[in-house]
Amino acid sequence: MGERHGESARVLVDRLAAAVNAHDLDALVACFSPDYRNETPAHPRRGFRGAAQVRRNWEQIFAAVPDLTARVLRSAVAGEEVWTEWEHVGTRRDGVTHRMRGVVILGLAGGRFSWARFYLEPVDDAAGDADAAVASILGVTS
């Protein structure tokens, strides 16, 4: 069962990426169970439940970034979990580049994603080096 389950997880990840790249909202939402649960540990209040919210989120994303593309950079299957690293790139309607990168850990049930732990964040090219980041996180000034 492990190998077959891993294969179905990869197929579902590929379906999700293809739906994002085709801007096919129905195909995208079909990848998620109706009672899907999304957790965003770095931003706890952003978590939600339900495929209806998935649809609302992606309607906004497709409207705001009409040329959005997604790539799965890496993935690994561990039982009923699939770990994925994503990159989303496009241009917002206001002309600003939209880039997000990060990890999404997805749980499988019944051939759909039933939950996720979401760590996808906007890319910040202007941020300082590692020392500046640590100082900022700790509230330390030089």
Model-level pTM? 0.88
Please report which confidence band the pLDDT of residue 142 belongs to, taking 50, 70 and 90 as the band edges. low
Percent of the chain with pLDDT over 90: 80
Please report which confidence band the pLDDT of residue 105 belongs to, taking 50, 70 and 90 as the band edges. very high
Q: pLDDT tens for residues 46-94?
A: 999 999 999 999 999 999 999 999 999 999 999 899 999 999 999 999 9
CATH number of the domain to which 126 belongs: 3.10.450.50
Average pLDDT of the residues of the chain: 93
DSSP string of the chain? -HHHHHHHHHHHHHHHHHHHHHT-HHHHHTTEEEEEEEE-TTSGGG-EESHHHHHHHHHHHHHH-TT-EEEEEEEEEETTEEEEEEEEEEE-TTS-EEEEEEEEEEEEETTEEEEEEEEEEE--TT---HHHHHHHHHT---
- The domain containing residue 59 runs over which residues? 2-138
Please report which confidence band the pLDDT of residue 2 belongs to, taking 50, 70 and 90 as the band edges. very low
Total of domains in the chain:
1
Does 116 or 8 have the greater pLDDT score? 116
